Amino acid sequence: MRYKVQRIYIEIFVFLLIFLSFFSIFGGYLENIPEKIQIIPLMLSALSKGIFLSIFILVGFLLFTFVFGRVYCSYICPLGVCQDGFIRIWSKIRKKLRFSYNPPMKTLRLSILALAVISLFSGGLYFIGWLDPFSFFGKIVTYMFKPLFIFSNNTVDLLLRKLDIYFLSSMEYPEIHLLNLIPFILLLGLLLLFTIIRGRLYCNSVCPVGTFLGLISTRPLCRINIDSNRCSSCGLCEGVCKAECIDSKNKRVDESSCIRCFNCLSVCPLSAINYVPFYKVEEGDSEVENVSGISRRKFISYGASLIAFTGINLFFKKNPEPEKGTPPTPPGSGNLSRYIGKCSACYVCVNNCPTNVLKPSIIHYGIKGAFIPHMDFRSGFCEYKCTVCSNICPTGALLPLTIEEKITLQIGTSLLKKDICVVFTENTDCGACAEHCPTKAVHMIPYRGLLYAPEVNNSICVGCGACEYVCPTEPQKAIIVRTNIVHKKIEKGICLPPVEEKEELEIEEIEGFPF
């Protein structure tokens, strides 16, 4: 019983840490919590940055799994905690919710793992983005938890304001495109269906992380042991096993599927099930289920399929060509090809962006970059001295940047469309773009008489999108940001634009006016 209680407390604590990390609650070292304790982000970051630390933590997880079994799946995985919560809610609705032993679908789980590994190393992360439990959880936060969180915050804020208490502030609801929402709803529906019918079926048949850890925990040093002398084969342990890995009839446990929820230990009336080191498993007690391989014919057919999948991935890995309307990639990504090959679409950056410029894409970066975050300058702009997204990215798709590096990084350049700008088309004053440009790349110059018009100096433009965001023309913007497929570095040292001199001159004239 104590194992189950400990598991519940630890998984709730870890879940809250990961969940709150999506809402800019933490700072400093704590903001990198997802990166430090998630398997696939650790693998991706090991290939991008901090290779020694990432490998050290990853190896630590694997050794821990080899010793204690798949503790990770119940204690640390946020998607696993979500499934446990739904199982608990569903068990309250359906009073007699019981599970039963089902042999693992070895061929399916190994095939999905192989495809995930190929995707991981061949640059096609669109496959992993929907199967990685952390990325899937990130989508749940973005499309479900965040709107609920904002609704709760705004409701409480409204009530407090009526009492003249201004402790909170109102938050804007995220813009969710229908084409992003449809695949998420379908996959979430499948996940919930799997959970209702077969418990942790997703974890033991679909999740590549679960399969990977299952291979390591086939014969762990600490095992779930069924004492055959005490066991009466009543089936209570089998009925509460969410992983469906206990065969009570044959008194056998499939260690590769056991997620260490310890429900079985708490329900056994005869204390016939215990969690012990392997050397305490006596002869005649439960045996670890043998994980057999697949037939030669199946091996050849699946091998051919994997080779074909590898070819597709390598085709998609080709450097993308710049296309009209392709949005800039976030700071720290380096270039479009690298960004697409590293981003798993977990949306940590989307939820932590203070200006809401990062949005889940549809096919803004093409099919190979579907659903990864893009920069939408109609919704926000990239804060000049902000480095949140690059420092919180768990996969290394965005490399950490200092403020000094950020302010000299050019992710795009501004393009002024004079045939749309109201200064040129309507001969009216408008300097919104120049007013909000942090580097003065957009500045005002004399145009007609006392009228001043915007001009762009792209040698000092960083592509932050502030000019495009504030431009008042609709439906098209008079000034837009063109993408740098490969990010560039600009020099500092900016002279004040002519508009500053004009303002100073006008002030002197007013001060010298006789009235």
Hunting for tokens 């145009």 — which residue is that?
447
Q: If DSSP states are collapsed to H, E and C, what string results for 410-445?
A: EEEEEEECCCCCHHHHHCCCCCHHHHHCCCCCEEEE
**How many Å apart are CA 332 and CA 395, to the nearest integer?**
12
**How many Å apart are CA 34 and CA 39, to the nearest integer?**
10
pTM: 0.81
Q: Are 429 and 450 in contact (CB under 8 A)?
A: no
**How many Å apart are CA 36 and CA 183, to the nearest integer?**
28
pLDDT value at residue 291? 46
The per-residue b/e assignment along 147-160, b for 16 or more CB within 10 angstroms, e otherwise, is: eebbeeebeebeee
Q: Are 49 and 399 in contact (CB under 8 A)?
A: yes
**How many Å apart are CA 288 and CA 421, to the nearest integer?**
73
Low-confidence stretches of the chain (pLDDT beneath 70): 1, 26-35, 47-51, 121-124, 282-325, 492-515
Determine how β-strand 358-360 pairs with β-strand 246-247. unpaired
Indicate the SS3 state at residue 205.
Answer: helix
With CA atoms as reference, report the closest residue to 409 among 295, 503, 490, 298: 490
Indicate the SS3 state at residue 482.
Answer: strand
List, for residues 226-250, the tens digit of each pLDDT value.
888 888 888 899 999 999 999 988 8
pLDDT value at residue 507? 35
pLDDT value at residue 370? 81
**How many Å apart are CA 294 and CA 237, to the nearest integer?**
30
Q: Which domains does the chain have, with CATH numbers?
A: 410-515 (3.30.70.20)
HSE of 489, CA atoms in CB hemisphere, 13 A: 4
pLDDT value at residue 283? 55
Positions of E strands within 58-171: none
List, for residues 163-184, the tens digit of each pLDDT value.
888 888 887 777 778 888 888 8
For residue 218, give both structure tokens. 């086939």
For residue 281, give both structure tokens. 């498993």
In sequence order, which residues have a C-beta less than 8 Å from that of residue 296 and are 6 or more positions away?
none
C-alpha dist (Å) from residue 347 to 58, 140, 152, 343, 369: 22, 10, 21, 9, 14
**How many Å apart are CA 129 and CA 473, to the nearest integer?**
37
Q: What is the length of the chain?
A: 515
**How many Å apart are CA 213 and CA 39, to the nearest integer?**
10
Indicate the SS3 state at residue 226.
Answer: strand
Positions of E strands within 215-331: 222-226, 246-247, 252-253, 273-277
